[in-house]
Amino acid sequence: SVSRRWKAGYSLEKWSLKAGRLRLEGWGPDALALLASLRAESTLAGLELASRKDEEGFESFAFEGRVGDD
């Protein structure tokens, strides 16, 4: 599900999945636009913005939340 909804131009630096809880860390031009794209997938709808900060025109971010099986 993540790979189907991941937008071009964003970098995934780290991810973890433990007990149905997914955490994604990366950077790109607009974290909220990427989060909206990911949440459009029903199995990823539980993702929330855990952190976001601007770094030289890009946003570094972390999303996390309980996800469905996929």
H or E element at residue 41: none
Determine what percent of the chain falls in helix, strand and coil, rounding each to the nearest 5: 25, 45, 30
Quick one: pLDDT band at residue 66, thresholds 50, 70, 90? very high
Residue 70 in this model has a pLDDT that exceeds 60: no
> Is 60 a residue whose pLDDT tops 80?
yes
Nearest to 12 by CA among 23, 41, 40: 23
pLDDT single digits (tens) 3-22: 999 999 999 999 999 999 99
Cα 27 from Cα 12, distance rounded (Å): 7
Of 10, 46, 45, give the one whose Cα is nearest residue 31: 10
Tell me the pTM. Answer: 0.90
Q: Which residue has the tokens 């309980």?
A: 66
